[in-house]
Amino acid sequence: MSKFLEVTNLNVSFPTEDGEVRASNEVSYSVGLGETLAIVGESGSGKSVSNLAVMGLHNPVRTKITGSAVLNLADGPVDVISASADTVRRLRGKSMSMIFQDPMSALHPFFTIGDQIAEAWHLYNKGSKKDGIKKATEMLDLVGIPDAASRAHDYPHQFSGGMRQRAMIAMALVNNPSLLIADEPTTALDVTVQSQILQLLKDLQKEFNMAIILITHDLGVVAEVADRICVMYGGRIVEDGTVDDIFYRPEHPYTLGLLNSVPRITAGESHRLRAIPGQPPSLISLPSGCAFQPRCEYSTKVSSGACASTVPSLSDKGSGHLSRCHLDAADLNNLVKDKA
């Protein structure tokens, strides 16, 4: 069965003076209604760029995009990569919405919160100004703003950071989209507010059966909300599996390194952290083989120097989840033993 969003072989690059930034390379992922897919990776690994392409938010002149991203809508599939700008604009905010780390990027400082949510609603609904404000109040109430009817008249600066995040969620969901892409939605928030917002997203997902793509670098957040996880490194997806696959049976040395880097709040004795040496690659001059090779302690196990010369393919090595690594199945199974 096809999922609500199916991204296949997406390539996004930016020609710049220094060379071509290949931010997203042969990226494929999918997410179904009611499902949460987390995309994790370090900054600059291509998480946002890939999803901005799905939303049709790249500058068409300065961006090269190939591949497909199909939305399986009730009235048939639409590939948002090849569709006209007009078609994508009509889907945006209605069938798919996006929220960001910084709510002020979506909220205009000079208009009231209520007016802005109402405006988003009027784009796709007929109704009076009063209906719009009523809808806005309803949405603010839904996302847990106390005293929503009066707070709808506030300006963004009168809201706290957590409330602005709620307001942006209210605006993104006002037309009941089937897909919500949340790009680091809680990174700027305190943990007690973060847990409120994550809970809110979970509740709303249940209520509206939304597909959610959660972009984050925080493995704790991922562990708590995701159903499935794609790990990105150097503009490519290097592993794709269920939450338990990724956390308990990682099949890529980078995923393993990432898991080992995180101090465990539950761990007893504090041990030395197992840091990954070196730094992430530049997307202008990606290594010709596996992008992780310069940092990978396992590459010596692969014969004939394949790690440095050939990009491994993303494939199922028999475990039911996908990884992009030249190690053979036996070695991959052994990775789990190196988990801290």
Partner 1 sequence: MTENILELNNLTKFFPAKAGGIFSRAKGEVRAVDGVNLTVGRGETVGLVGESGCGKTTVGRTVMKLYEPTSGQIVFDGQDITNLDRKEMKPIRSKMQMIFQDPFSSLNPRHTVGTIISSSFTIHDIEPEGGVEHAVRELLTLVGLNPEHINRFPHEFSGGQRQRIGIARSLALKPKLIVADEPVSALDVSIQAQVVNLLDDLQKEFGLSYLFVAHDLSIVQHISDRVVVMYLGKVMEMAPTRELFANPRHPYTKALLSAVPVADPKIGRSRERIILQGDLPSPVNPPSGCVFNTRCWKAQDICRSVVPETIQISPLQTVACHFPEV
Ligand X SMILES: Nc1ncnc2c1ncn2[C@@H]1O[C@H](COP(=O)(O)OP(=O)(O)O)[C@@H](O)[C@H]1O
Report CA-CA distances (Å) from 149 to 84, 129, 136.
39, 15, 9
Candidate residues 143, 236, 293, 335; the one interacting with ligand SF4 per rule CB under 6 A: 293
Query: Under the criterion CB under 8 A, does residue 18 sit at the interface with partner 1?
Result: no
Candidate residues 296, 314, 322, 335; the one interacting with ligand SF4 per rule CB under 6 A: 296
Binds 29: which of ligand SF4, Mg ion, partner 1, none (CB < 5-8 Å by kind): none
Q: Note whether 292 and 311 are within 8 A (CB).
A: no
- Environment class of 262 (CB within 10 Å of its CB; exposed 0-12, middle 13-18, buried 19+): middle
- Find tokens 């090269």 and name the residue: 64
Report CA-CA distances (Å) from 332 to 13, 118, 321, 328.
31, 52, 12, 6
Candidate residues 259, 291, 311, 325; the one interacting with partner 1 per rule CB under 8 A: 259
- Find tokens 């010596």 and name the residue: 300
Nearer to partner 1, 62 or 157 (CB): 157
Candidate residues 178, 299, 321, 335; the one interacting with ligand SF4 per rule CB under 6 A: 299
Candidate residues 99, 219, 325, 332; the one interacting with partner 1 per rule CB under 8 A: 219
Q: Which of 279, 275, 272 is nearest to 256 (CA)?
A: 275
Candidate residues 45, 112, 255, 299; the one interacting with ligand X per rule CB under 6 A: 45
Q: Note whether 96 and 7 are within 8 A (CB).
A: no
Query: Under the criterion CB under 6 A, does residue 236 sit at the interface with ligand X?
Result: no
Binds 49: which of ligand X, Mg ion, partner 1, none (CB < 5-8 Å by kind): ligand X
Binds 14: which of Mg ion, ligand SF4, ligand X, none (CB < 5-8 Å by kind): ligand X
Strand 179-183, strand 314-316: pairing: unpaired
Q: Which of 304, 324, 308, 307 is nearest to 316 (CA)?
A: 324
Candidate residues 33, 193, 284, 308; the one interacting with partner 1 per rule CB under 8 A: 193
Q: What is the DSSP letter of 310?
A: S
Query: Under the criterion CB under 6 A, does residue 335 sit at the interface with ligand SF4?
Result: no
The enclosing H or E element of 129 equals helix 129-142
Q: Which of the ranges 40-48, 69-77, 100-108, 146-154 carries the binding residues for ligand X, by CB under 6 A?
A: 40-48
Query: Under the criterion CB under 6 A, does residue 229 sit at the interface with ligand SF4?
Result: no
